[in-house]
Structure 1
Amino acid sequence: MPHGDTTAAVDLSSAAIAATVSRDGVRVPILIDGRLVMPPGVVIGPTGHLYVGVDAATSIPADHRFVDDPTALLGKTALTDATNAAPTDPVDLLAAVLRHVGQHAAHQIGQPITALTVTIPPSWGPRRRHQVTEAAQRAGLPSPALVTAPAALAAHATTLGHPTPAGSCVLVCQADRHPATLTVLHTTDGGYTELATRSLDDAPDLDRLITDHVIHTATGDDDPLRAPGDDPATADDHRALTDAVRTARQLLVTQERAPVLLPAPRQPAIITRADVTRAAQPVLDQIPRAVTDLLDAADVDTGHLPTVILRPDPTLPSVAEHLAHTTGTTPVLVDHPHALTDGALTLTAHHQPAPRATAARLPRVRLRISDLTGTLLIGACSLALLVQAVLTADITIHNTWVVGARTSLPQLGTAGALAMLTAIAIAHLAPTTWLTGTPTTPTEEPTTGSLIRRSYLAAAVGGTITATLYGLATGTAFSFDYTSYLKWTLGGALPLAACATLIAATAPRIPAHALPHWLTLTRPAITHAATAAAGIWLIRAAYTLSTPIDLTGMPGLASTIGAALLGTATALTVSRTRTIRLITTPGLTIGYALVISYNTHSALIIGYLVALTWWGIRLTADTLRLAFPHTGNALRRLIDRPGN
């Protein structure tokens, strides 16, 4: 499989770290330590060893230090304390985080990271931006392209169907990190320009406010918890209570009430959504004034804001309602954990799209007889099944008139399907072979996309015509009504013809670097088709005592062998995954051999037809995925959104 550039995007602007990798136009969310997002915390051991991805609620040994978020230390002096005389450089801490994320990304994708994009808060200037670049270099990663979080959110909202016209403005609110941030962006043809940004710096700590509320409502006047939170005697209890409040706030996202566990021996307390709303009211009250000041600073008014984007905090209620009331526009909620990394990749993608098959020209060689061997084999199998079905038919004649003709209709359907598969196999050769060698005429060589479109359209038409002729020829051979035979031959061919038509329409959009991989995926499984045809031939021969059973005898053994071959071909056609094949092939091979009988053989053949149709559908899906990678990502984001 060819490998193009592999770009990793890492989000450093949210409360948790997320990463996405773009490879060959396909974006893959990265699991970090088995999680979609990773806590930014870092623990420093007594020997200087760094442990990354540590949650704030994790208990650590007394001789270890915990850093809640290394990015909060950027732009400051090196970290030191009384237990460790050697200071710790914040850039080293961030480098450890990036190195850990990069290793997971490279391992999951199976190739090195060749480009890096990092999302950062909009307030970061040259000093912290330089430190991020230095941290990436220390982590052994490429020098990063830096994208501000509001711009990344706006770009991601565009992929969700909320584009912002060039020349207009967009208001972005990030409520998921303390303090909440409001930013106005101006949309340009090349991206976004930041006009103004403001943080709600005076916003209180909700966890602290709710903790104080719980203490004063659930404890007595003489309770030690009422001492200040920085009192060493009660510091651990205050920390545990704050963690319990944070957990309860998460529970309130999906329920009206939640328990708060107070340090023993105290009884648990109960908080409600109303308690959180009251605690958050000072934050919510700031929103109208903050938006007004922000728009004044950006020199725009609400009429210039066709879109308002909110990155919500599930534990902070009513932000969307306050924004909608202030701006007159219902906010677009962007809450997917990889929204920022996906948007950053969209912004840093090349402005000039990668060459597609419509403009590419793959190397081509002269067509040889050996290239046609497999195609001719499938065609021969198709014709053999047709001839056998005709020659072994049970024809009823009354007064010289044919009044009935019984044959294997599913076998006729398979013959029609293999005729279409033969046409697809020929079409597969067109983009990489010449019919008679390199032309000497001055006419321009057709592009690979043009060859794919023409060949697969010709395959759809040619295969359909051949299947039609099969049905008509069967009726003519029997001197009987051809309708039922035509239905089966076309029924086997038309699904594959529809797939070939879709491939012809979409394959020219595949990026040029992905064409060799696509050609590998679309190579027809000739051996599987030949195996299925051999199995169907043996089954039919066994039940009609025709060639070769009329010479060898043992029809029971022949039908069993034929069913086993058909089961093997069905299993191999259904999946390309080696593990699935190892599981299903023995099962279907043995199962088909055990259940084969005159009454069941038609159903087994229909099973193979279904498998062959599934092969065509899967091939079409692979083509669409390569041709429209970003559309697939947008659909997955919509499907995966919470609440859907």
Structure 2
Amino acid sequence: MPANDLHLAVDCAAWQITAASETAGRFQPVLFDGHSGLPNGVYTDPGTGALITGAAGLAAGMADPERYQPDPLGMLYASAHDDGTPDPIAAVSAVLAHVANVACSQAGIPITTLTIVDPRTWGHRARHRLSQAATSAGLPAPNIVSTAAAATAFAGGAGPFVLVGTAAPDLTILDLSDGSQQLAKARICDTTAPAIDEALVQIAVPDGSIDRDWRMAREVQQVRAILAVQPRAPLLLPEPHPPAAITRTDASAAAQPHLAQVDDHIKQLLADGDIDIADITSVILVDDDPIISDLEIALGATSLPAPIRLRDPHAVSYGALRLVRPSSDQYGETAATVRLPRVRLTLASLARVAVLAACSVTLLFQTIATADPYTWGIDIIAVLWPEENLALAAALAVLTGWAAAQLAPTTWVMSSGADDQTTTGLLLRRGFFGAAVLGLVVSGLWGLGTGVAVGFIDDTFVTAALIGAAPIAACAALIALAAPRIPVQQIQGWLHRINPPVTFIAVGAAGVCLQRFAYGTVFYPDMIWLRGTAQFLGAILLGVATGCLATRQSGLRLFAAAILGLGYMLIANYTTVPYLTSAFLVLIAWWALGAAATTITGSTPRAATWFNRWSNPLSSTRGAPS
């Protein structure tokens, strides 16, 4: 898959979630504060109603168990919603958002494909509810694969038929010749004997005088996990009961009545799948659990092949990544034919827009405040003013619209927008055309407003503003034309690539303002030191920002920022500052042109080929006979 795409697989086990991600063919586990698993429950804060996930939610739930939902995905699957528990869709959305945030922070890129691993068979309505939860978390619609299919994909089991066992315990037969189709599944149990977890509790408290809630069930699962690697484990019991020691022998005794039925269950599975035992060519056992070891022994007494054990906690997630590989062309879909998941617009989403708008307005007001009019009598006959500052303010006004346009395909403002069927391509086209047109209009108003504010109406104000805004507005218009043809698998990476470099622009704008403050303000004699401080600091900031905008390579960017920051500090003065500001404005326009070129080459393969030949003339002659 492309380097800018991130595929996240989430394995939703009974008590914890494990996840793994893939980008550019590289698999890596998702770690939660250094741990492989994340508690999959959700706690509802009684004061604010906020949903708390992960270890923090579990800690709160242990103290207040009534407000903790240990299995929100199970509630969503069953469409169950008890009083006092959170809405299942909101709860699952909160858990998925937690996992996605950790995965994105580790990979540094947004998620483009989501796969959920679950042992259950999901019907149409359950799938729809899960898709709603993913969309609310800002994630794409999920693929859903079974635990058995994902485990088989990781183990590389040979077909045509594979038997997969888990610590539930259960057995599943898959037909690999038919896309890992599930032929039959059975839970291994003896209906006359207590369940394995119940039997372990009875061993610890023979008289049964104990309250059984989700905390007790979770404690038993932790004991089973410890027994996979140690011969003994403490089972913590609620007061007044002291902790009990559980051994592997106890676990084997609890599982024995059920595993004694393995032969009968295998016969029933073979009958349901309409195959013979000789047709099964691979056996895969999932989970590192003492019950799995006993199941392996029980299966060894049959004529089945020797099983493959999967002990890696991320094995199932890795298998899901292998099983669900996004195709290279996504069936030919483009932005014009798909809809990205959209979430409600928040104040945090507008941070980039607000920073650019603040820079533009600040430069505008400083241009007006530091203009120096020349008068003849009571008439203003000329004005000495920083044309480059007004041009930069106008350019940033267009970039403000540009940043807002990027939010259009992934956010909605009104609640009705949640179900908006408008395609991503149409939203992009509207957004960037709007940015171009409104940016030019605002730039013209900036010019007119400057003339009115200084009391001197002249075309040069509007001309300077439009000169600064026109190149970026033209690039926004080109993006509006080309964006709907971008392949769907490239949309997320493309949106990241054309994000305005707000940090560098804000630093550069601050440098320009400080320079203008130093040279356009009259200081009292005892405050003259402030001019020098503002001059040097502004020169350094402008030089650093210019160096960072000049290249995208981190090493060169650091070198250029250091050189230009020092150089600008040495050469900046009243006569050179306009040229330095103009150079910064040119680099912003160059960045916008690069973003437009990226859009055109990404949407038009022929343009990409032509651009490569133009940028590297030797490429057109490679392979030609000498």
What TM-score bracket applies, with the shorter chain setting the length? 0.3 to 0.5
After TM superposition, the score normalised by the length of structure 1 is: 0.46
Greater helix share, 1 or 2?
2
